[in-house]
Structure 1
Amino acid sequence: MHIRRILAAVIATAALAGLGLTGAATATAATATGAPSVVSPSECRQGGGVPRIDLPGNPCKGGKYDGQEVD
């Protein structure tokens, strides 16, 4: 019975570690696309987002430039 618990813990740890690595690879791929750090309001809209200049940091919400600063 004790071996089953250890085996289950090892499998769960490996699964969670795999998810963490997948998330890191996805984040790296997203930043490697070369998205500009500042976009114009029209670029934000063309990318499918909405410029939210009323929020702190003036972010583009949604679309290709989600989270990028709108200038």
Structure 2
Amino acid sequence: MRTRRILAAVTAAAALAGLGLTGAATATAATAQGARSYVTPSECRQGGGTPAINEEGNYCKGGSHDGEKVD
């Protein structure tokens, strides 16, 4: 009888731990998707790049924001 209670407690603890890990992974994925995908012309220049606004795609050329869309 005591063994069954211990086994039930271990199973419940493992199930709760699994739910906690799943929630943490979901929160990380939501944060990564919510990040903006553009920089301002000022941010592009501050990062050492040149905003190529008149060229197709409006991207930042060079610097730390190289290849990011300028908006």
TM-score normalized by the length of structure 1:
0.49
Larger radius of gyration: 2
Greater fraction helix: 2
